Amino acid sequence: MKQNILVVDDHRENLISLEAILDSDDRNLIMAQSGNEALSLALKHDLALVLLDVQMPEMDGFEVAELMRKNKKTRHIPIIFVTAISKEQKYVFKGYECGAVDYLLKPIDQKILEAKVSVFLELDRQRRKLQQAVVQMKRLKDENERLLHALGEALIGTNAEGKITFCNEAACALLRQSRDDLVGNDIADLIFNDDAGKSCWSWDSSPLQEACRQGESWENEHNLYTPDDDGLLALSVRANAITNDAGIFTGVVVVLGLSDDENNGGDCARNHRRNPRKRLFREMVVFDRSTGGNVGRLINLSVNGFKLFSRRALAHGEDLQLGMVLPDQISGVNTVSFDARVVWAETLDAPGEFQVGFQFQTLNSVTRDVIENLMENY
């Protein structure tokens, strides 16, 4: 594509001379013999460069340059002043103040003129390529977003620091939050390790982030949770790394879904119930099956975990074999057994007193029925 160069000089012989120097198959030279004509042509054509004589009647080159800089369509066009009126520094500075990018004094050296014009034409070519690339990238980004929004899976994208940069409509629907509420916030603020909403997920130490940084995909082995109007929603989480062209980790794509407990629980799931926790009004004690010792008093309970008041310091991640004596016979049993993992522990104000959150590791059908009965009736 030819590049347009506007050449402005009130003397026709000067225009002819400049045309002879600059004429080329890839250039379109547009000639003007006054300031007004130059402004009109600048608005009409897509210009790569202006060669502008300073000393012209009615409107000099300084005025033309100032008016071009005030117009949105022409302000970006580079201007080279071509003049013989003065070599004094004050006139050169005035040219730059009016918006010139370069200054040539007559008589013109053909090699210098050609070299300067070639530089600015190359800059124009690069600018146009960059503009085209930006338009193309925006188009691809818009297309990708439309595709991602059309997917049924809930998708969230983050940067390397765990800040949410993208979420599709399915994710907004699952999390019951708008895009404005999600984008820009930490994904760790959405996810809990336990169903009490007590133990926040840590991005820096999360296995998801660590696996993705090593180029591995990641999927949670145990339920993770997110706040929900009815309590907490049990999630399945899958993640893959995002890398740049150099292979450097720049973020993750996270696929969220309802956990198997939510989707496959039948009557237990109660039509995708969000695992609300129930505070119990009958005191029940949880004991360690391996030692027979008292672990703590049950405070609240859900089908995914429970909270205890305990006088025993328990470590995060500790797995215990536990049991509980029931206040009445439920589902034909007086006691239940289950395995659970400590997902958070909090020291209370009184010395030696703790609140501890557990996540069930295994639940048979009888124990699940008992827990649901306790939640409803006790």
Full-model pTM: 0.42
Same domain, 259 and 284: no
Split at pLDDT 50, 70, 90, the class of 273 is very low
Residue 49 one-letter amino acid? L
294 lies in a domain? yes
Does residue 46 carry a pLDDT above 50?
A: yes
CB 260 within 8 A of CB 247: no
Q: What is the pLDDT of residue 85?
A: 63
Q: What is the pLDDT of residue 207?
A: 83
Same domain, 179 and 109: no
Same domain, 304 and 235: no
Q: Output the average pLDDT for the chain.
A: 82
Last residue of a domain, one of 263, 294, 320: 263
Mean pLDDT score, 285-305: 86
Element holding 333 (H helix, E strand): strand 333-347
Does residue 228 carry a pLDDT above 70?
A: no
Same domain, 256 and 284: no
316 or 84, which is more confident:
316
- Give the tens place of pLDDT for each residue, 104-114: 888 888 999 99
Does residue 23 carry a pLDDT above 80?
A: yes
Q: What is the pLDDT of residue 231?
A: 60
Q: For 346, phi and psi rounded to 5 degrees?
A: -130, 130
Residues spanned by the domain of 341: 278-377
- Report the CATH number at residue 158: 3.30.450.20
Same domain, 185 and 295: no
pLDDT cut 70: percent of the chain above it: 83
Number of domains in the chain: 3
Q: What is the pLDDT of residue 195?
A: 53
273 lies in a domain? no
Split at pLDDT 50, 70, 90, the class of 9 is very high
Same domain, 55 and 165: no
Cα distance between residue 6 and residue 35, in whole Å = 12
CB atoms < 10 A from the CB of 228, how many? 17
Same domain, 86 and 190: no
Does residue 181 carry a pLDDT above 70?
A: yes
- Give the tens place of pLDDT for each residue, 309-362: 888 888 888 999 999 888 888 888 888 899 999 888 888 877 788 888 888 887
Same domain, 224 and 249: yes
Does residue 122 carry a pLDDT above 90?
A: yes
Same domain, 209 and 322: no
95 lies in a domain? yes
Which of 14-18, 94-98, 363-367 has the least mean pLDDT?
Answer: 94-98
Does residue 270 carry a pLDDT above 50?
A: no
Same domain, 24 and 105: yes
- Report the CATH number at residue 101: 3.40.50.2300
Same domain, 9 and 114: yes
Q: Write down the residue that tokens 């050296």 correspond to.
A: 109
CB 57 within 8 A of CB 41: no
Q: What is the pLDDT of residue 90?
A: 61
139 lies in a domain? no
Cα distance between residue 197 and residue 215, in whole Å = 30
Strands 285-288 and 294-301: antiparallel
270 lies in a domain? no
Does residue 149 carry a pLDDT above 70?
A: no
Split at pLDDT 50, 70, 90, the class of 223 is low
Last residue of a domain, one of 263, 293, 324: 263
CB 45 within 8 A of CB 4: yes
- Give the tens place of pLDDT for each residue, 188-222: 888 766 555 555 667 888 888 888 998 888 887 66
CB atoms < 10 A from the CB of 62, how many? 22
- Give the tens place of pLDDT for each residue, 30-42: 999 999 999 999 9
178 lies in a domain? yes
- Give the tens place of pLDDT for each residue, 231-246: 667 778 888 998 888 8
Last residue of a domain, one of 237, 263, 289: 263
Does residue 159 carry a pLDDT above 50?
A: yes
